[in-house]
Structures are given as C-alpha cells and as structure tokens.
Structure 1
C-alpha cells in the first residue's frame, strides 16, 4: 500500500506531537473567523442560495442554517471562506490547504456524528496530505493550478478517514477526486479577478462527492499525484507541514502582503501621508506584478490587486475587510494613490518565489525619495504570529458579524475538542447568524 494511503488509515491523534495539535486548533479558529468575515459578501450569498436551491439534503449550511447536502455545504462553506482572502496558506503549494479541507471535514463529520478527536485527526491528516498533494501536482503539470485542484484530493483523504472507508475504497475516492477536481488555472483569475477565485469550494465539493461515490461502489483509482510521486510522501509522520503554514494579517492575496509591509515601513519611518506622495514603485516577483488592478470594481478585484491594498495601507495604516469591500473600491483617495503606483518585476524576488515573497518600495515626494529594504509578508511560519495574534484576528473578523458572545462560545467549543463530540463545535457553526 502506498505510504499516503497507509497514513490515512493508520494515523492516530496520539501519534501527533502536541505543538501540531495546538496549531491545528488555531488554524481552525482562523478559518472560522475568515468564514464569518466572508459571509456578508455577494459571493457568499449567491453560492449559499445556490447550494440550498440546487443541492437537496438535510444538513444545515455554515452560518446559514438552511439545508443542503454535504456536497452543497462543502461548496458553500469553501467559497464563503475564499470570499475573504484572509485564510492560511502553504508557500510551496502557492495556495491554501485549510480552505477546501475544513468545509469537507465539517460537513461529513457532522453528518456522521463523529467524535471531536476523529475530526481533529482528519484535519491534521488533511494538512499533511494536502501539502504533499499540492507539491506533487505542481511537479507534474506546467500550469499553476488553483487550490481546488489538489484540494479535492485532500478533502477526499480527510473524508475517507472520517467515514472509515477501507483502503481499497479510499484509493477509489482519491482517484475520483483527482480526476474530477477543478484543474483551473490560477493566473486566469489573477488577470481577470472574479468570484471563481482559488477554486477551493469546488475542490471541497468534488472531494466530498468522491468519497460518497466511492462509498457507493463508484471506481476511480489511481490518483497519480498520490501513487506515482513517492518522493513527496516519504516523510509523512516525520515532517509536520501543519507547522509550516502562513497566516494573513490582511484580507488580500498573499502576493500583495510584502508590498504592503514595505509601504507601511516607509509610511511610519518618514511620516508620509497621501498628499505627500508623488509616485510609488513596487519591485517584486512576477506573480505579484500580475496583480495589476489599480481600479478594482469589486471586492474580488480589490483582493487580487497589489496596488489598491498598498494604496489603502499608505492612506490608513492598515488594510481591513471594509477597506476592500464592494462599497470601498470607488474611494477617490485610494484610487488616486493607486494610480501613482508602478509595478516593476524583480529578478531577485523571482528567484526566491514561491518559498519567499519579497518586495521593496520606493516612494517619491517633494522632499525626496525614500526606499525600503526587501520585505516579506508578516506571519510566515519562519516568523509566525503568536497565539494571541491569531485569537485577536479571529475576534476582529468574527465579533462584528456573529457578536462577541457567539464568537467566544465557538472559540470555547473548539478548545478541548478532542474530548468532546464534533457537534459541540458544529452545532455552533451550522446555524443562522441571527440565532
């Protein structure tokens, strides 16, 4: 049996180091906060209406309460999280493991009424599986595919564990998920940002569907990225990629976050205001330069822009969800600053991508030119946020939407989940916000 398949069925929570378990809880909290932040977007409203109308079932949707199927619920939750580009990610994958994984595990785990420890084991297994599936896929295809593509296989792996499929049925589930997963090209959405985004919701849906189909006898093995790329799977159980995820302080593409840090450094160091700035140069890697959307017409375009959030940061000292909402993209001060930005592709930054995302900024003013050093995004795994940082971020996103008391109850239900049923958490999540 391939090592990856054996890992799905043999991993025990007791095998997992305590720091890995603790980080998984924080990643789940972060994903839940981002989902709360994304629930008010048009994207989320449309996809939840779609899931309720088109996917018949008995399961309530995340922060909605209306019923759908496990596949529909995974689609809606995955796209709701992806609606606000603030969730965790993995540099070598150039994408996000948690976004397709968590919705699939939540819906399947709630439907099967699993124990909290089994859910947590599936989540950690999913992060380890997803990291390697992503790297294996990127090594086998010329195009840069969205998180939903390898995320479908990741969701199927977690689902197979939760539903206790036998190894042969699991093998078919992974094969179905890989075959039917959304092999969507990420740079298409970078060049023309729309609601399709990173494909995570579709990948989560495909993974859940694959598990259900395999359980019913549908065949689909093998998954090439799992069975024909052994080098990527050899360190399972020894190297824990759960500890190598990054987090986002700002709700925009990770590729824009190093430019934001460089711009904020100059703003703070030299007391620069919007009226002081004559021109701005951002030197960074190719993919960040491709986020060339100075005049976004929607929150999707604002989130997949480098110049617009950098202009927000220079004007306001930070970037919040309200700063990149549909209602905020016509702000004349921000648009004026964004129009002064020139994007410059850097060989130095290109050479380090995707493991490092470098940027430097040069700002010209009437009193002189100011140039930053090379900056990286905040909260990479090499300089991670503290537990307090992530809990503060969670409440900043969740409290305005859910109310502080509800957000605190969710936080409390996640604590010690290994000693509770999953329903202690999922009953809090799968209800309308107004309840």
Structure 2
C-alpha cells in the first residue's frame, strides 16, 4: 500500500507544533517576520495594485478581528490575509531562498498573522507556525524542482499556499486529519499560471500571493467546520505532485526527509535591494566595480549567469526600458544601470520619473546577458559574472557567487531593523514607534498575545478603507 504522505506530514506537523523548535529556526522566523511586516507596510503606499485589495475586503470589516497592515482596518482572517498577501511581494523586497523557486514567507506570514489575531494565539505559537510553514514551503519547492515551471506553472505561490495551510492549521488547532482536509480545499482554489512571466504590464507579478494566502485561510476555515477533503491531496494519483509536477508518489516522499530535524528557515536570504533576487549578484558586482571605474568610461556591460535568469534580460529591448516598477525590478539592464549610476537601489528607484531618466536608460542600453550552462545548478542560480568593457579596450571582471543578504553573506538583525524602519516610514497609517514595533516582532516568541502586539501598534480598528486608500494613493 502506498505511503499516506499527506497524513504523515500532518501528523509530524502537529507533533512538531507542540514541541520546542531549534533556536536557529525560531531566530530565522523572527527575522523573516520583521522583514515581511516592514515590506508590507511600505507596499501600502508604494506598490501599484495593492489598494484595491484593501477596498475589496472592506465589506467584511464589521465583525473582523484581523488587521490589514498599514491601514488600521480590521476584517476577517481570510480578507486580511488576502490584502496583506497582495502587499507581501508587491515591492519585490521580501525574503527568498537562493537557488529555490520560493519566497517562503510571502504566503506564510500573512496567513499566520491573520489567523493568530483571529484565534488570539501566543507569539510562541505564531513563530513556530511561521518556522514550520516556511520549511514546508521550501520542501515542496525543492521536491518539485523545475518541474512546476516546465509544466506551465509559476512555483512560488503554489508551494507557499501549501506551507501556509499547514502553518494556519496549526494556529487554528486542527488535528492531523483536518490538516489534510485543509490542504485539499486550498489546492481546490489555487492556480498560478506561468503566463505571469510573459505579461510585463500585468499587476499579477506583484500581487500574486494574495490568492495563495486567501486560499490557505479559507482551506483552514472549511476544514475546521468539518468539511471532508481528499485522502491524499499531495501524493494521490491526481494529487498535487502528480498533477502539477508530474512526480510519482515514491519520488514525493523526499518531502519528509529530515522533517522536524533540519529547517530551511536559516537558509533564507533577505534582500538588501528591492528587486528580484536574480538581479542581486550583478547589482552587488556593479556597486563594487563603480568604486574603481568611472561610469562614463564603460563601453558595454556583459552579464553571464544561470539560464533561469534569462527572464530578467528578455525581451532585451523591453528590459532595457521597463515601463512599470515591477518589470523594472525584474530587469537586469535597469537594476545594473541603477547600481552603476546611483550607487544604490532603494524604494525610490522605481518611480515613473526614475524609469524615464535618460542617464539610466543610456547605461541600460549597454547591458547584455548570456547564459552560462555551468551555473544551471541550484547552488549557482543566484550567482553571476559581470564584465565591464572600457573605452580604452580594458575589461574589468567580477564574479559574485553569494550576493549580499544570503546565508553566507547575511543581513543581521541590526541591518534588518534599519530596513524595517525605512519601510515603515511609507506605511499608509503612520507607525508611532517603529523601533518598538521592530523589537516586539523580533521578540514575538516571548509575547503572550499576537493580538495585543498588533493592537498596540496598529490600533484604530474601525478606520475606513476609503480613508486608508486615500493615503495609499
């Protein structure tokens, strides 16, 4: 008889949620929480496409307990996760895992916070759920590999929806059988088309995680009401791994290898710059090289990296002159030009005015990208070689294997706190004491109530969405 993979995972999750987790996993979860909340606050005013989500959920506000971050609005858990999920990735400033098609906390943290407020969970319960949800998201992505993308899917929201469902189910106190049911209902709502890569004018690239977050909360809520799901939603003959990734049940069993013993959280990378993680090796190189080379002397700029990063350079003409902020964040020519000309990349680097700057566009025109097949391995997918060809025939070369923000070149708590404070300055509703909020988030495991923490810093429960949207626009 085939192994009941989903049920076994659910049983292990339930046991793990009741036991002390490794300090490294909890510490990583704290940093991810701090980073995610800050990025979400900034998106409440800076990201196109986020405000309509807050407007859409306003009708559920009357009886809600869960907060739409940055707005002061309270609404249902599903609606709050929906709106916060839209903001989680919108600025492309959230965490990632180098070499893995996952942004593991863009889905997990909005779901955990919404349900933790609704159920008045403790900080320790919320942090454990984040650590476990992040781990499962990464495991789903690692087992699936590039098969999801090959079959036309966009992997991060799919893997994240599953991880967020287990995390949310822990907060809601679902027993293992109901965790399995919750996965069924999440998957029945989820889709993430790979067409997202081919539509640079679409807002979907920015707000994609809203749908994963909403599906996860609704999946948990339906399971909690006793609705029965599939017996094997992950490993079944037409379950997730078979239908989405073309994987046999036996191959999917790698999902459980070392589960509860090793965690992906400590491997998470935090972004020092608000652009696709695939751009960061080249941005890192450009920032270092500009200290030794005058930009005016650069004749051409040749970048070489993993095949996956082709999406950041093609079509080349469009990437050299991106029209929208989210497309600029997925553009090697534009981000490298920013690094060389301005010496930094910030949230202000992607305004409409910036996208039209002649000096940036002139440098972006000099950028080209070639595929290095030797980098087509997970450990090298975020590495890159940058070559500057100068006007006197000289070349300057820098190979960056582990860009800043990775586990090998990390941003520490102080750097992430500074990033958080900068992000929170853009919140649609001002944060009274960003430093105190950062400290509370970093120490959430010691706080008896997530609801109390959110209340203290995001009070104004009945603020209208119209008012917050006016700020946001």
Q: Establish whether TM, by shorter chain, passes 0.5.
A: yes
Distance 1:110 1:98 in 2: 17
Mark the CA change 1:23 to 1:277 in structure 2 (over 3 Å): closer, same or farther. Answer: same
Structure 2 counterparts to residues 147-166 of structure 1, below 5 A: 147-166=156-175
Equivalent residues, number: 430
Describe the superposition over 1:216-262 as per-residue Cα deviations: whole angstroms up to 9, x where unpaired: 23332222258942212121111111111111111000111111112
Q: 2:443 aligns with which of 408, 416, 430?
A: 416
The question of whether the paired residues in 2 share the 8 Å contact of 1:52 and 1:68 is answered with: yes
1:289 Cα offset (Å): 2.4
1:76 Cα offset (Å): 1.0
1:195 aligns with 2:203: yes
1:279 aligns with 2:300: yes
Distance 1:52 1:291 in 2: 36
Distance 1:28 1:190 in 2: 31
The answer to which of 326-335 and 394-403 deviates more is 394-403
Distance 2:368 2:147 in 1: 34
1:363 aligns with 2:388: yes
The question of whether the paired residues in 2 share the 8 Å contact of 1:194 and 1:300 is answered with: no
1:291 aligns with 2:312: yes
Q: 1:204 aligns with which of 199, 213, 217?
A: 213
Describe the superposition over 1:387-429 as per-residue Cα deviations: whole angstroms up to 9, x where unpaired: 2222222222223547675211211322432232112332224
Q: 1:62 aligns with which of 69, 91, 96?
A: 69
Residue equivalent to 1:385: 411
Q: 1:194 aligns to what SS in structure 2?
A: coil
Gaps of 5+ in 2: 242-248, 314-318
Q: 2:261 aligns to what SS in structure 1?
A: coil
1:224 aligns with 2:239: no
The answer to which of 151-160 and 88-97 deviates more is 88-97
Residue equivalent to 1:49: 55
The question of whether the paired residues in 1 share the 8 Å contact of 2:60 and 2:76 is answered with: no
The answer to which of 45-54 and 89-98 deviates more is 45-54
Q: 2:264 aligns with which of 208, 223, 241?
A: 241
- Normalising by structure 1, report the TM-score: 0.91
Distance 2:199 2:407 in 1: 28
Q: 2:368 aligns to what SS in structure 1?
A: strand
1:140 Cα offset (Å): 5.6
Distance 2:275 2:55 in 1: 25
Higher relative contact order (Cα pairs below 8 Å, separated by 6+ residues): 2
Q: 2:165 aligns to what SS in structure 1?
A: helix
The question of whether the paired residues in 2 share the 8 Å contact of 1:92 and 1:135 is answered with: no
1:430 Cα offset (Å): 6.6
Q: 2:394 aligns to what SS in structure 1?
A: strand
The question of whether the paired residues in 1 share the 8 Å contact of 2:165 and 2:217 is answered with: yes
Gaps of 5+ in 1: none
- Normalising by structure 2, report the TM-score: 0.84
The answer to which of 393-402 and 16-25 deviates more is 393-402
Mark the CA change 1:138 to 1:75 in structure 2 (over 3 Å): closer, same or farther. Answer: farther
1:286 Cα offset (Å): 2.2
Q: 2:290 aligns to what SS in structure 1?
A: helix
1:316 Cα offset (Å): 0.8
Residue equivalent to 1:11: 16
The answer to which of 124-133 and 375-384 deviates more is 375-384
